[in-house]
Amino acid sequence: MERRESRGAHFRLDHPTEDPTWRKTIILSKKDGAIQVGYAAIGEAF
């Protein structure tokens, strides 16, 4: 799990607080058989 925070109904015991630096979209893709992780500002992903 890339996002290391809790937000709304998505509560994590290992990361119980909200972190404003995670206010972005996480984009996962597959390239050459490996998972790639990317980020985009909210509203710019699509």
Distance CA 32, CA 25 (A): 23
pLDDT above 60 for 28: yes
pLDDT of residue 12: 87
* pTM for this model (two decimals): 0.58
Locate 15 and state its tokens: 């990361």
Distance CA 37, CA 9 (A): 23
* Predicted confidence (pLDDT) per residue in 7-27, tens digit: 878 888 888 998 888 888 889
